[in-house]
Amino acid sequence: MYKLSDDFLWGGAVAAHQLEGAWNVGGKGVSVADVMTGAKHGQEREITDGVVEGKHYPNHDGIDHYHHYKEDIALFAEMGFKCFRTSIAWTRIFPNGDESAPNEEGLQFYDDLFDECLKHNIEPVVTLSHFELPLHIVEEYGGFRNRQVIDLFVRFATACFARYKDKVKYWMTFNEINNQADYERDFTLFTNSGIKIKEGEDREEIMHQAAHYELVASAKAVQIGHAINPDFEIGCMVNFQPIYPLNSKPEDVLQAQKAMQKRYYFSDVHVFGEYPEYMKAFFKRKNFDLDITDNDLEILKAGKVDYVGFSYYKSATIQHQDENTYYDYNESHDLVENPHLDRSDWDWEIDPIGLRVSMNWLYDRYRIPLFIVENGFGAIDEVGEDGVVHDDYRIEYLGQHIQEMEKAIVEDGVKCLGYTTWGCIDLVSAGTGELRKRYGFIYVDKHDDGSGSLERKPKDSFYWYKEVIDSQGENLKL
């Protein structure tokens, strides 16, 4: 296939709460991830009222990356990683989220982590808020439904920018900020924004208000980050899945277009610094009484992002329903199965060409660099009699997606900074809390019942990805 430029950032991606463990070590406070139990495919994780004795919280232990990070980074270096995307757990730096001064022990942990990356010539790529909101902010402030939380996030971001200004160049503010477009799910509202819906509230209106405060917080952080280090590259991060019409029926085409607007206006605001007219009309029609001030709008214009980070796992398909007069989008009800695509064990569409579609859509729209910061295949991996995981299915999935990415870059002219596979080492699944849904190139002996030695073992995909990186994407073995 194509050979990409030498400065292309190949690597892998994780989130602090899904692998670090050590949930109450080093002065760390309780986060929203720490009160979500384990679940399974088709079952929502339970969000408990604080940490309840007797409940199983898989994020508490993760894969104990907190104590194994040197070993893990050495394995990433063996694969040839150019970058490593992770997040900074807000509750390691500000345990409750509203302290006036940061926790030095937490700051030092990430100093050590980033130093270890740089020792191996691995560029850290850091997300500030990756589903790790302090639980105290939920309980005392109501999460991002409260304007005060803007300043709490900015304080956290500023502390990180200032501390790691000479170690981290690439940043993102809010992970998959648009997941909450699926506002019917308690999980997305809670993990994105720390929102617990009260009886009688309009879930959709509450979501848009929280998203506005996050967009303002992001824009303020971008301005501060650039002031601290003008060389910072600060991006947004969206979960991207192109939404196809089920067929060429004009109503289905329009429904898909309107769905894309509702799911991706978040990145419109991040990139363009203003709300698109279609969202202004939508807010007006729905009679949403949103707290959006003139000063907010000025902040949005001044805090535009430098690149668009995005995750890509699958596409989606939609069909218009006759009763949906305004072509509104309700993600929990409106999507249909695509008859042309296979699906994973977790019922996710497998659509490599959809990545190329996504890259073209995003670059055509925004004309700033893209960064694929998540793409991966969750599967049940079995250790063979020879002690090795032979994950040809993962190699096939990733290889096909990388091939389409390369076509978008070389044939379509899309500017893309890099590619980081999701869960480059096995970790806790965000959606289900499972460890058996494995994504990694590195098998970790840890299981859903909490058992396991934590031993790390390279899978077949480990050596395949090493060759991909060594050849700058030319040797995909498809």
The two structure tokens encoding residue 53: 């004795």
Q: Of the listed 123, 176, 331, 374, which one is catalytic? A: 374
Bridge partners (DSSP) of residue 371 are 309
SS3 of residue 395 by DSSP = helix
C-alpha to C-alpha distance for 476 and 473, rounded to whole angstroms: 7
Q: At what angle do helices 148-163 and 104-119 cross, to 10 degrees?
A: 50
Identify the CA nearest to 127 among candidates 309, 323, 353: 309
* CB-CB neighbours of 42 under 10 Å: 8
Is-contact 240 176, C-beta < 8 A?
A: no
Identify the CA nearest to 408 among candidates 81, 6, 13, 2: 2
DSSP secondary structure code for residue 179 in this structure: G
* Contacting residues for 11 by C-beta, under 8 A, at least 6 apart: 76, 81, 82, 83, 84, 85, 122, 123, 125, 418, 419, 420, 421, 424
DSSP secondary structure code for residue 450 in this structure: S
Is-contact 63 448, C-beta < 8 A?
A: no
The two structure tokens encoding residue 230: 């003008």
C-alpha to C-alpha distance for 266 and 276, rounded to whole angstroms: 10
Is-contact 426 63, C-beta < 8 A?
A: yes
Q: Does residue 455 have an active-site annotation? A: no
Q: What's the distance, Cα to Cα, between the start and end of the chain in Å?
A: 9
Bridge partners (DSSP) of residue 152 are none
C-alpha to C-alpha distance for 226 and 235, rounded to whole angstroms: 12
The single residue listed with the structure tokens 């200004």 is 165
Question: Count H helices, E strands: the chain?
Answer: 15, 15
* Contacting residues for 408 by C-beta, under 8 A, at least 6 apart: 355, 356, 359, 360, 363, 414, 416
C-alpha to C-alpha distance for 351 and 343, rounded to whole angstroms: 9
> What is the amino acid identity at position 356?
R
- Residues that are catalytic: 374
